[in-house]
Amino acid sequence: MLLGRVVGNVVATQKSPKFEGAKLLLVQPLTENDAPRGPVLLAVDGVGAGVNDTVLLVVEGRAAAQVLGRKLAPVDAAIVGIVDRVDVESDRPTQAR
């Protein structure tokens, strides 16, 4: 999974019926020290997240479809949790020891 920050939402009336009623949030994936990591993704919201929330993002179809609770949903990203805190215990290993 990835850490991410909700940066907005998307409204779409014409879409796959599997998205009916789903909230679509724009999420900027983040590194562990809050730096942007890759492009902004569009994810189904499974927890009622809001803009600026730090969230836990799953980026795989089967897991994301689980959040929607619908079989054969054409989805590949979903928010599965709101992050309370991240503690980075040691610095990231740079070279092999």
Partner 1 sequence: MQIARVIGTVVVTPKDSNLTGAKLLLIQPLTPSRAPVGKPLVAVDSVGAGVGEDVFFVRGKEASFPFHPVEMPVDAGIVGIVDSINC
Among 2, 77, 79, 80, binds partner 1 (CB under 8 A): 77
In whole angstroms, give the CA distance from residue 94 to residue 83.
Answer: 26
Q: How far is the CB of 75 from partner 1 (least distance, A)?
A: 6
In whole angstroms, give the CA distance from residue 3 to residue 54.
Answer: 7
| 13 or 94: CB nearest partner 1 | 13
Run of H or E including 64: helix 61-68
Query: Could you tell me the two tokens for 87?
Result: 């503690």
Q: How many residues bind partner 1 (CB under 8 A)?
A: 29
Among 14, 33, 90, 94, binds partner 1 (CB under 8 A): 14
Largest Cα–Cα distance of the chain, in whole Å? 53
Among 15, 32, 37, 86, binds partner 1 (CB under 8 A): 15
Query: Could you tell me the two tokens for 29?
Result: 């994936």
Residue ranges in contact with partner 1 by CB under 8 A? 7-16, 18-19, 24, 26, 39-43, 51, 60-61, 65, 72-77
